[in-house]
Amino acid sequence: MLSFSKTNARFSFDGLSQTISNSVLLLAGLVLSSILIRFLRGTRYRYPYPPGPKGFWYLGLPNSKVPMKKFWLTYIEWGKKYGDLIHFSRFGKHYLVINSLQAARDILDKQARVTSDRAHTRIDEMVLGDNMLKTLGSVSYGDKWRKVRKLFHQNLRAESMTQFRPIQTQQVQSFVGGLVLSQGTLKDHIATLSQKVMFLSLYGLDISSNKEEMPARNREFVEFFDNGIIPGWDGWKSIPFIHLLPSWFPWGGRLIAALHAQGEITGEGASKPWDAVQEKIKSDGNHTSLIAKLLSETDPDNDEEIDRIKWFGFQSIAAAADTTLSAISTFFVAMSLYPDVQSKGQEELDTVLGKGRMPTFDDRPSLPYIEAIFRELMRWHPALPMGVPHDCIEDIVYDGCYIPKGTTIYANIWAMTHDPSVHKDPDCFIPERHLREDGHFENINSILAYGFGRRVCVGRYMANDTMWLTIASTLAAVNISPLPNGGNAEDYFSEGAFCSPHTLDCTISPRV
């Protein structure tokens, strides 16, 4: 019998083979049991699943059939064949993509009580641990979620925004002033702006670049999160007892190792700014920040609430960083492709404010065309074209179709904001479509990019302010040149889960 030793452990090839055989038999038995349970449960309803592409029994769609690049466009094409609701499964896990606004309102808004959960598996709990499951975007719907959500609502609601506006104004003006002279890339300049606003507002910490350790950790977290919002990507997590696969197992081992790494990144991303602000509070008696204020109002023995404050800060920065970066980068693409829109915006600013004066938040009601540019930006290329997925906690029957408990539901926001029956020439950037005769705009909650139901983006008011002021200030101060390749906007956007420009080749020059 061949054997070898490594780091004080001995492994038997015969024993290894037997272990593998037993593991395979056990896994097969568990899979068959899971299939039987799901089948018996599914027969409770006479209604069919929503239509969609068919895969293999239990295995569902093979990986090669799951759209991975600009998948929101694929689901629009599938919608022409299957309708507004598209269903498919992978390893017994059900997925539903909603292509119409009416269906999204009916399922995610009107039935929010049962469609506001997040998908969690045993492997998430084991590998990612409490770290990942403490963020508002990941925590399961229930009492714990309500407590976390309350913290966000109290501190990021519309009425609370005035406390952040001095920081936003200062940082946006600094950003605009450095557009012409900046040594880095335009995208790095934008990323630094979005991070600086959040780190200063929440922690009172100043960063000089988005490439510093703390903002870089946040970026790593978001990059991993991006993969997790691709419909069907996480189906493998539903395989029974996959979390028991040994690390040497070729396929599962790599995936589990990646999840372990993500858990570490998440923990560090939350701990480093938290530790830094704690040091600031100790060393500087005059230190002011939102986190410092919340801690001063909290019983130091209330570990649960202090932990919530820590994770509130982490997710606020992580969520805002990529969303704001994507939206502002898209603004530069839009102005480069539509110089007439840029000219109209600048003309309004010059007429209302006078040439050379920078806009303030008080000027917003007097600048309807600038507001229309912002609204069109959010419609034209939403940062998350399919939002963040919801999970349903009960069986649902909608429009004669059965949506089983545990289905992960995606709202195809891109399909809704590019519906030609609602928006004429939807692929074109036309701010005028948002201007009404009465001069009013719809409530911010009408912006579909912020999501649906009880999982709507809680940081939307802060993101809204930062993006609007950046748009208005940039148009007031500089000219954005046309992009060299012209025409097709899609050439400038990446193919990942986040709809963000991958290149910004425009030239910035001061307005004379």
pLDDT in tens, 77-108: 999 999 999 999 999 899 999 999 999 999 99
Per-residue pLDDT, averaged over 152-173, amounts to: 94
What are the pLDDT digits (tens) for 295-306?
999 998 998 889
Closest alpha carbon to 393 in 381, 379, 409, 378: 409
Reported pTM: 0.87
d(CA 217, CA 266): 8
pLDDT: which is higher, 245 or 59: 59
**Can you point out the beta strands (E) in 413-507?**
478-480
What pLDDT is stored for residue 410 in this prediction? 96
Q: Which residues are annotated as a binding site for heme?
A: 457
Q: What percent of the chain has pLDDT over 90?
A: 48
C-beta separation of 381 from 490 below 8 A: no
d(CA 157, CA 462): 8
Least confident range from 71-85, 318-332, 494-508: namely: 494-508
pLDDT: which is higher, 224 or 89: 89
Closest alpha carbon to 373 in 344, 395, 399, 400: 344
Q: List CB contacts of 228: < 8 A, sequence separation 6 or more.
A: 234
What pLDDT is stored for residue 93 in this prediction? 92
Per-residue pLDDT, averaged over 258-267, amounts to: 73
Residue-wise DSSP of 445-485: GG-GGG-SGGGS-TTHHHHHHHHHHHHHHHHHHEEEPPPTT
Q: Is the pLDDT of residue 6 over 80?
A: no
Q: Which residues are annotated as a binding site?
A: 457
In the block, which residue shows the tokens 């954005």? 480
Q: Is the pLDDT of residue 336 over 80?
A: yes
CA-based torsion, 328, 332, 338, 339: positive or negative: positive
d(CA 135, CA 142): 13
Other C-beta atoms closer than 10 Å to the C-beta of 281 total 17
What pLDDT is stored for residue 74 in this prediction? 95
What pLDDT is stored for residue 370 in this prediction? 98
Q: Is the pLDDT of residue 20 over 70?
A: no
Provide the pLDDT confidence category of residue 8 given band limits of 50, 70 and 90. very low
Q: Is the pLDDT of residue 207 over 60?
A: yes
Q: Is the pLDDT of residue 110 over 80?
A: yes
What's phi and psi for 76, nearest 5 deg?
Answer: -65, -45
What pLDDT is stored for residue 25 in this prediction? 54
What pLDDT is stored for residue 36 in this prediction? 55
Q: Is the pLDDT of residue 487 over 60?
A: yes
Per-residue pLDDT, averaged over 407-411, amounts to: 96
Q: Is the pLDDT of residue 409 over 60?
A: yes
Q: What is the largest CA-CA distance in the chain?
A: 89
Least confident range from 313-322, 377-386, 451-460: namely: 313-322
Q: Is the pLDDT of residue 43 over 70?
A: no
pLDDT: which is higher, 481 or 8: 481
C-beta separation of 243 from 256 below 8 A: yes
d(CA 415, CA 422): 11
Per-residue pLDDT, averaged over 126-142, amounts to: 63
pLDDT: which is higher, 21 or 276: 276
For 263, the token pair is 């858990």
Least confident range from 4-18, 76-90, 184-198, 431-445: namely: 4-18
What pLDDT is stored for residue 32 in this prediction? 61
